Amino acid sequence: MPCTTYPSSCDCFVSLPPASLTPIVIFGKNSDRPYEEVQEVVYFPRATNAPGSKVTCTFLEVEQTPETLAVILSRPAWMWGAEMGANEMGVCIGNEAVWTKEPVAEGEALLGMDYVRLALERAASAQDAVQVITDLLSRYGQGGSCREQPEPFVYQNTFLLCDRIEAYILETAGPYWAAERIREGARNISNQLSVGEPWKEHPELRSHAVAQGWWDGKGAFSFSAVYSLENQPVRMEAAKKRYRAGQELLRRIEGKVTIESMLEILRDKPSGICMDSGGFRTTSSMVSVLPRCPHTPCVHLLTSTPDPSRSVFKPFVFNLMVSQVAWTLSPSFGDSDPVRQIPRFQTRVDRRHELYLLHQKALEASQGSQEAGHRLQTQQRELETENLHLTQKLLERHHNNDALNLSDIFQKCVEQEMILYKGEKV
């Protein structure tokens, strides 16, 4: 039977003009996962695929498309899919766990994280990504264990999707779904249904609700009101508090949202948005900057390490010469991987990549000394300030980034962070 524990996990944010200070769309997400789970940052280039070919996702095989877009992903190292990511067209997606009146699926299907990657690989816009996910959902459903343990842990999914122009909230309840379109302002999601009157919806969304006795078919229809659990578990109630706290943090900076203020939101501990409780913590974070000007590159900042308040955000930019950074890539175990063995997850393997190992070692070495902890955090912030200055240069060079070697920006930033943790001079 699926686990009925409801962890508080994940928060996604998006700011569009006029909420953003400048004409940019800003995406942010904290991925809150089991405490010891490792997230890797992986890059996959654009690819052409053979006609009739299939792709093996985490648990399920699906039909492949003729071409897939280049993507940068932050993902639990045992999964095929991703918690969050972006593609070369400037589309960003993050997903979150949710539980609704619809029961979770018992068998294995596509994970919400699989849908994130599939949509990023196939969609040239956020609106296209909504279509990709809903089409696949109707064919393959959603389900399967979402953690690397023998006891299944299953949930449904909500998604925040955005591009340079607009954003969408896509929320699901089993096979049913509802979408909200966002053309301006700021929005957040936090492990609960939040879509009211849908912009688009599953064709049987309302009739199913009537048949189940959840809605009388009269008056205004609110997806969140109709499909949310009536008696929320304690941790789902905690998610409501995080959602309201996220709304308030966005409200305070309305019209002034910047990269830096989005980083501060993701680092906010009093609200629980930067979390460490109940065996879960923020295991990786991402902020993306999507300029309205099509000639300006999108910049994606990722940590690849736990706790954004003790991590460094590093910029990544798509270009034809980009390659995978080995230091953020976890070891591969092939067919002997516990996720590939049946029954699954009967053993554990060490998935820590080199940056993760050095980061954790540096944090452990600074524990017990307030001075050492403060010194390490100061050095991290100084390094990140340099990364943000580089990001600003990228955003200001509307037509000529040739002077900057875009192919290894992320690699160089990771390298500098590793030098810091090794105790060498940066």
Distance CA(82)–CA(188), nearest Å, equals 19
- pLDDT tens per residue, range 293-302: 999 999 999 9
Q: How confident is the model at residue 235 (pLDDT cuts 50, 70, 90)?
A: low
Q: How confident is the model at residue 232 (pLDDT cuts 50, 70, 90)?
A: confident
Reading the block at residue 374, the tokens are 């403060």
Average pLDDT of 352-372? 96
Distance CA(228)–CA(369), nearest Å, equals 46
In this prediction the pTM is 0.96
- pLDDT tens per residue, range 389-408: 999 999 986 545 555 677 78
CA torsion angle 313 127 133 302 (round to 10): 0
- pLDDT tens per residue, range 34-83: 999 999 999 999 999 999 999 999 999 999 999 999 999 999 999 999 99
- Domain regions of the chain by residue span: 11-357
The answer on pLDDT for 3 being more than 50 is no
**Average pLDDT for the chain:** 94
11-357 has CATH 3.40.50.1820 classification = no
Give the active site residue among 10, 57, 146, 274.
Answer: 10
CA torsion angle 59 108 231 243 (round to 10): 20
10 is catalytic: yes
**CB-based burial label for 216 (10 Å; 0-12, 13-18, 19+):** exposed
* SS3 of residue 125 by DSSP: coil
